[in-house]
Amino acid sequence: MVHSAPPSWSSVLDYVRAHVKPQQFETWFTGLQCLVMQPGQVRIAAPNKFYRNWIERHYLPLLRNACEEVLGTEAALEFVVLEDASAIENDATMPSPATASVATASAAAADTAAMPAPPANKAAEPRPVNIGEIPLNPHYTFDNFVVGPSNRLAHAAALAVTENPATAYNPLFVHGGVGLGKSHLLQAICHQLLARNRALRYVYLSCEAFVNEYIAALQRGNVDAFRQQYRHVDMLLIDDIHFLASKKALQEEFFHTFNALYNAQRQIILSSDSPPHEIPELEDRLVSRFKWGLVAEVEPPHYETKVAIIQRKAQARGKRLPDEVVHFLADHLDSNIRELEGAVLKIIVLASLHNHPIDIELCKSALKELTGRASDVNIAQIMNTVATQYNVKVADLQGKRRSKSIVLPRQICMYLARELTPMSLAEIGGHVGGRDHTTVMHANEKIRKLRASDPEFDQKIERLIRQLQRG
Ligand code: ADP
Ligand code: MG
């Protein structure tokens, strides 16, 4: 009999989710597994050392609070690293304390400076400079990237950029749904170029960080320094540039940064959840610039690519999954590669933990846990629950009326649908009066902000989420 992980781990994740930005949650918490959860002790498996170090350095107090909240007692947190699955088979105890692990290039400085030299007064000691807030994930390399028809173009373009930076495709604009490998590709470019040129000066950061830093610079009154740091690099990579949607002043700022770098023949690489012309309220001059180089889409992987990715992810953990298991997973999991990865990890952990062979039975129990949350809640339940809570009619939520009493509950529906169901923005829009994806994005943003600024509202939403998840 396969036991599933203790149910309270999902409450810990709920707590964390409510306290970090969605992107942070996606990046750092969806890959964690709970091995032991009991009063006084919580043992958590991290996919690799990099994750563990990052969590320990940035999220330990939050995670501890979350565990204590759920367990109702103090708890010692222990981390196990699943670099290979044997770590759990040997019942690894607490690993040595985290040491800083920031991605740096391993190769020696090569004579092929692939980029135009950085401007005068170069530092005496060449070292890669990443002034962005995100260290590179050492696993996001070209070697670890499975290529298939769905991502072939983006992959080829990324490689071409490493061969001929600032000349092959500038900018390179990669777009596609969440979890399809955009950040992986961007970071693979950094790794590859760093291996050739340790003195490369680059910035890799999320658009959100770019925006936040700009605002902070405005407040400090040193926008000039902010500008300088982005305008004097060899390569600028901004992840999730769609975050600039509807932000006029920032678009203006980014426009000038773009021009400065482009004119100086520096490589620019951007990722986004949609193609340039579909980013809501993006100035035309930016839309056209984003198309100057190459716009490449990463699509959800086809069945064969899913199979290859599942096998590769298991292999990376030192396991070979039986064919029937691989096909079962490919059949039952959605095409989000991050989720495929999470499922493979979960299965390996469960098998080791319960000394159970990796078979369909085990898969079923792992999948129930992984997908239960998302698939149990549907849009109809969301609408009914919200309608009751706000004392409005479901038909009104689905309709066109824009009176104030309807608008907020409708936005809450869109937000909850985004959080709790796998529906796309467009699908959600279809259920609330045939609205387009921009409206859904706007609603999400608004509710997220309200939750952040109004604790009472935040609790109300939290209660709705719990209520829906209880079914
Ligand atoms: P995005 O930025 O598009 O949301 P990520 O680049 O973060 O997606 O990818 C999500 C996860 O899936 C990462 O762990 C990444 O390594 C993995 N992944 C995505 N595409 C591939 C691929 N083609 N081959 C192997 N792993 C992949
Ligand atoms: Mg990403």
The answer to whether residue 134 is domain-embedded is no
Q: Do 149 and 262 share a domain, yes or no?
A: yes
Domain limit, last residue, from 330, 345, 371? 371
Which atom of ligand 1 is nearest the CA belonging to 137? 16
Is residue 149 domain-shared with residue 277, that is, in the same domain? yes
Q: What's the pTM value of the predicted model, to 2 decimals?
A: 0.62
Cβ atoms of 356 and 350 closer than 8 Å = yes
- Residue after which a domain boundary falls, among 283, 298, 313: 298
Q: Max Cα separation, the chain?
A: 69
| CA atoms within 13 Å, Cβ hemisphere of 264 | 20
User: Among the atoms of ligand 1, which is closest to the Cα of residue 305?
Assistant: 23
CB distance 179 to ligand 1 below 6 Å: yes
Considering the domain architecture, whether residues 149 and 270 belong to the same structural domain is answered as: yes
Total length of the chain? 471
Q: Which two tokens stand for residue 31?
A: 């890959």
- Residues 154 and 294 occupy one common structural domain: yes
Q: What does the DSSP 8-state code read for residue 432?
A: T
Same domain, 68 and 154: no
Domain assignment of residue 206, given as a range: 142-298
Is any atom of ligand 1 closer than 6 Å to the C-beta of 313? no
Do 168 and 251 fall into the same domain? Answer: yes
Q: Is residue 184 lining ligand 1, measured as CB closer than 6 Å?
A: yes
Of the residues 264, 298, 332, the one at which a domain ends: 298
**What's the token pair of residue 68?**
């204590």
User: Among 189, 161, 165, 163, which Cα is nearest to 117's?
Assistant: 165
* 292, 340: one domain: no
Pair 179, 293 in one domain: yes
Under 8 Å between Cβ of 271 and 189: no
- Tell me, yes or no, whether 126 lies in a domain: no
In this structure, are 199 and 186 located in the same domain? yes
Ligand 1 atom closest to 340 (CA): 12
In this structure, the answer to whether residues 200 and 307 fall within a common structural domain is: no
CB 182 within 8 A of CB 176: yes
Tokens (6 digits) for 211: 């925006």
Residue listed under structure tokens 């100035």: 283
Do the beta carbons of residue 78 and residue 72 sit within 8 Å? no
The CB of 241 under 6 Å from ligand 1? The reply is no
Distance from Cα 368 to the centre of ligand 2, integer Å: 26
Residue from 27, 175, 338 to probe ligand 1 pocket by mutation (most atoms less than 8 Å from CB): 338
Closest CA to 49 of 101, 14, 8, 13: 101
Task: Tell me, using a 6 A CB cutoff, whether residue 118 lines ligand 1.
Answer: no
Ligand lying closest to the C-alpha of residue 152: 1
Same domain for 174 and 251, yes or no, is: yes
User: What is the residue with the minimal CA distance to atom 18 of ligand 1?
Assistant: 181
Q: Which ligand is nearest to the CA of 243?
A: 2
Split into its structural domains, the chain has a count of 4
What is the CATH number for 88? 3.30.300.180
Ligand 1 contact via 146 beta carbon (within 6 Å)? yes
pLDDT tens for each residue of the chain, 471 residues long = 444 445 478 888 888 988 888 777 877 888 788 888 887 888 888 877 777 888 888 888 899 888 888 888 888 888 887 664 444 444 333 332 222 222 222 222 222 333 433 333 333 334 445 555 567 888 999 999 999 999 999 999 999 999 999 998 999 999 999 999 999 999 999 999 999 888 888 889 889 888 888 888 889 998 898 888 888 899 999 999 999 998 999 999 999 999 999 999 999 999 999 999 999 999 999 999 999 999 999 999 999 999 999 999 999 988 999 998 999 888 878 788 988 998 898 898 888 888 899 998 888 888 777 665 444 678 999 999 999 999 999 999 999 888 989 999 999 999 998 877 777 888 899 999 989 888 998 998 899 899 889 989 998 998 898 888 776
Which tokens in the block code for residue 158? 């990324």
Residues 311 and 454 in one domain: no
User: Cα(182) to centroid of ligand 1, in Å?
Assistant: 7
Contact 159, 142 (CB under 8 A): yes
CB 146 within 8 A of CB 305: yes
